Every structure is written in C-alpha cells, then in structure tokens.
Amino acid sequence: MTSSPSLPSGDLLWYRAGWGPACEELEYRLMRGAIRLGRILGIPIGANYTWFIALWVLAWSLADAYYPARFPGFPASTYWTMGLISTILLFASVVVHELGHAIAARRYGIRTRSIVLFMFGGVAQIAKDPPTPGAELAVAAAGPLTSLALGGLFAVVNPLAAGSALGAIIAYLAWVNAGLAGFNLIPGFPLDGGRMLRAVIWRITGSLERATLIASRTGQVVAVAFIAAGVLRAFTGGGIAGLWLILLGWFMDTGAQGSYQQALLREALGKVRIGDIMTRDVHTVDPGLTLEQAVADYFLPFKHGGFPVVWGDRLLGIITLHDVRDVPRDRRAAITVRNAMTPLSRLRTIRPTTSAYEAFARMAQDGIGRLLVTDLDGTLLGIVTRSDLLHAIRTRVELEEPSAERAPSTRTRPR
C-alpha cells in the first residue's frame, strides 16, 4: 500500500443496455448501497458505501507514507489534512472524468441516469448503447481525454505553489489524473480502452455482437493479468495493494463475462420474433371460477405457474400460483379468479413483432418468468416463457453449428 499512493482508480463505464443478468445484479448492488451526494448538470451523483472504505484507506496511505516521504518535516496533522484534501479532490477528478463521458453521450441524445462513486472509482450509468461505432468511440474516449486535460491543468498551475503543501497536493493531482487517463485506456472491456477497441472492431466487422465478444474476451485477459499481478504483489510484501488488484481484476472479470454472455444472447435472440416462438395454444381461465376450481382444473393438471384470465376474447389479467397462495386455504372456495388475479393494468404485455432478446431483457429486469403476447386491441395471442427463449437459443445454436467438432478457425457463420 505504502508504495502505491496513487492507486489507479478504475472508472468502469457501464452502459445499462450493455448488461447481462450478472451485471444487472452488480449494478443493483452498487445502487442499493448508494448515498446521494448531489446533482451536477442534472445528473444525480451518488456514493456506494465501498467508496468510504477507499476514501479512508487512500487518505491514510497518503498521510502516513506518501506525503511524509516526499515532503518531510511537517507535523502529522498537516499530512492528514493533505491526505484528506487530496483524496476528496481525487474523487472529484473521477466525477469530472465521468461527466466527460456524460457530456459526450448527451451530444448523441443519450441520457446519463447517474454517476456513482465506489471502491474502484466511478461509474457513469448511461441509459443505452451509443448508436454508431463513431458515437461509441467518442463517448468512451471523452473520459480519458477529460482526465488528461485536467491533469495538464494541474501540471500548468503547479509551479505557482511550488514547495508548499498546496503545491504537493497539486503535483499529486496532476499525476493521478494522468494515471486515471492511462489506466482507463487499457484495451480491456469494460474499461474505456476496451470500449474504444469495441468501437473499432464494430466499425471493421459491422457487427456490434462480434465486437462485444472480442472486446469482452480481451477484458477477461486483462482481468486475469490484474489478478496475477495482485497475487504476486501480495506475496512479495505488497499487502493491501495486492489485495486491491485482485479485487479489481475479479470485478472487471465479472463485468467482461456479463457483457460476453449478453452479446451471445443478443446474437442468438436478436433476430427472432416473439410471434415465431410463443406458445399459441394457451390454457386460459374463466374469471368466474373459484380459486379451488382453478387449482383443481388448471394448476394441478397442467403444472404451469400461471394462466391468462380471459373473458370472451378479452385478456383481463393473469392468475399465478403466487396469487392463489396469497389467499388462505379455507377461503379459496369463496374467492373468484377475478378477485385474486393480477389485473392487466399491472401486467407487462408484449407484441408478437418484438425481438426475443427484448423479451429476455424485460424478464430479467422485472424478475418474471413469462410474458403475455397481445395484439394492439389487447386480444391474447399467446404466451412466451423463459423456457421458450432457452429452447429458441438451443435450436439456433444447433442449427447454425451443425458440427461442434470442427475447429473454430474453419467454421463459417452466416451473417
């Protein structure tokens, strides 16, 4: 720890739209522990609780080792003040870096939902993927360029305060911003450099999925390198710095893996229409049935977790096992399906022209296992479940890759 006061702060720019289920979970965890710090340019700025750990560790390492070694002869209280100010300004620099991304994204009409500080730096949560390779490149490059400019600014004003404690802090910030830019330019997804690499491959191949697959793989290689370096460091007396590298590598690997899986899914499901894979022959339930009848006639014989409730042609809602379980057993003979069901107003339905990937994303986001497919009038056309989607993936994989034994290099893939 003592040897590396200028920890590179890993800014991981995560686009929500670029997230697989594993990443959704990570993003959720990050947001759940976030405290609101304020709002800049209309973007809420928050801090995850892990940020306070980083704040403390970094301030301590600066006050205890870095500043005393470089600027000897001051009392401990001065070093502590310097350490705290430097740490706060370091994280302010991270916010400025994220704002660089946000402003570039705004130029392409993409909103930034929030900026969250956490243990490894900051995350700008950008509402969706940039529309073109050029936009992706610009949004990804904006962060490191902003850090580089900020570092340059500190370097230029540094001579004005040379020799003083303030000068020491400014010199540190110049280095740390240059480090922030350099670290984020490492071409491993989901670092900015990885995003820039993805933009270039996207431009060359014309396929965002291909580009994401390749960039995520390089991200995993970089992550493994971080972990290896961390282990080496920990065993050669690096202590906390080694542990920090291992955690950062693990964290990057999770992000890269999520993006990889998500790109695979998008490739498999993006061109499939819901109308082609939904189950059309749906068992529907009459709203006037009692719950007891519904259990005996539908839930027990058909083993589904839920049934659409239909009156004539019209979809009224869905009755699920969960809805039934909410009603005490002794009252199920008296309560009707209509009174216990989840009504249409609280349901998310989907059109048959929607892509299977979109359906998958919605299910993951809402934590549900099935979506009802309706036309514009609200007439029930069918139902699509998670297992329908899995079946569609399996079928496509088997159809597109008839010979699994063949070497990958000779495999041709229809575009």
Segment 199 to 258, residues that bind Zn ion, using CB under 5 A = none
Q: Give the separation between CA 22 and CA 385, rounded to whole angstroms.
A: 20
**Residue type for position 39:** R
Calculate ∠ Cα 165-158-1, nearest 5°: 60
Is residue 305 a contact partner of residue 369, using CB atoms and an 8 Å limit? yes
Q: In whole angstroms, how close is the CB of 202 to Zn ion at the nearest point?
A: 18
First to last CA, the chain: 50
Q: In whole angstroms, how close is the CB of 191 to Zn ion at the nearest point?
A: 7
Closest to Zn ion by CB, 192 vs 253, is 192
Query: Per-residue contact track with Zn ion, 323 to 342, x per CB under 5 A?
Result: --------------------
Closest to Zn ion by CB, 8 vs 382, is 8
Beta 112-118 vs 121-126: how paired, if at all? antiparallel
Given 13, 59, 63, 141, the residue binding Zn ion (CB under 5 A): 13
Establish whether 366 is an annotated binding residue.
Answer: no
Q: Which of 264, 137, 123 lies closest to 196 in space, CA to CA? A: 137
Establish whether 192 is an annotated binding residue.
Answer: yes
Catalytic one among 27, 98, 136, 267? 98
Given 8, 11, 198, 210, the residue binding Zn ion (CB under 5 A): 11
CA distances in angstroms from 72 to 4, 41, 165, 172, 364, listed in the order given: 18, 41, 11, 15, 56
- Is residue 98 part of the annotated active site? The answer reads yes
Q: In whole angstroms, how close is the CB of 186 to Zn ion at the nearest point?
A: 11
Residue, CB closest to Zn ion: 143
Q: Give the separation between CA 70 and CA 276, rounded to whole angstroms.
A: 68
- In angstroms and rounded to an integer, the radius of gyration of the C-alpha atoms of the chain is 27
Is residue 229 a contact partner of residue 238, using CB atoms and an 8 Å limit? no
User: Per CB under 5 A, which region of 25-33, 192-200, 292-300, 351-359 contacts Zn ion?
Assistant: 192-200
DSSP string, 106-165: HHTT--EEEEEEETTEEEEEESS--SSHHHHHHHHHHHHHHHHHHHHHHHHHGGGGTTSH
Segment 105 to 124, residues that bind Zn ion, using CB under 5 A = none
Establish whether 322 is an annotated binding residue.
Answer: no
Given 10, 83, 143, 242, the residue binding Zn ion (CB under 5 A): 143
Helices (H), 270-383: 274-277, 291-294, 300-302, 321-325, 337-340, 356-366
Closest to Zn ion by CB, 13 vs 324, is 13
Closest to Zn ion by CB, 86 vs 184, is 184
Contact between 192 and Zn ion by CB under 5 A: the answer reads yes
Q: In whole angstroms, how close is the CB of 11 to Zn ion at the nearest point?
A: 4
Contact between 136 and Zn ion by CB under 5 A: the answer reads no
Closest to Zn ion by CB, 48 vs 184, is 184
Q: Give the separation between CA 173 and CA 156, rounded to whole angstroms.
A: 12
Is residue 341 a contact partner of residue 310, using CB atoms and an 8 Å limit? no
Q: In whole angstroms, how close is the CB of 184 to Zn ion at the nearest point?
A: 5
Closest to Zn ion by CB, 47 vs 268, is 47
User: Per CB under 5 A, which region of 76-84, 140-148, 274-282, 390-398 contacts Zn ion?
Assistant: 140-148
User: Per CB under 5 A, which region of 4-12, 257-265, 363-371, 407-415 contacts Zn ion?
Assistant: 4-12
CA distances in angstroms from 363 to 20, 224, 356, 357, listed in the order given: 12, 31, 11, 10
Which residues on adjacent β-strands are paired with residue 308?
318
Return the SS3 of 367: coil
Token pair 């070497």 in the structure block, residue: 407
Query: Per-residue contact track with Zn ion, 341 to 370, x per CB under 5 A?
Result: ------------------------------
Closest to Zn ion by CB, 130 vs 238, is 130
- Lateral strand order in the sheet of 314-320: 306-311, 314-320, 342-343
User: Per CB under 5 A, which region of 88-96, 156-164, 187-195, 301-309 contacts Zn ion?
Assistant: 187-195
Binding site feature residues for Zn(2+):
97, 101, 192
Applying CB under 5 A, the residues found at the interface with Zn ion are 11, 13, 143, 184, 192
Binding site feature residues:
97, 101, 192
Residue positions annotated with a catalytic role: 98
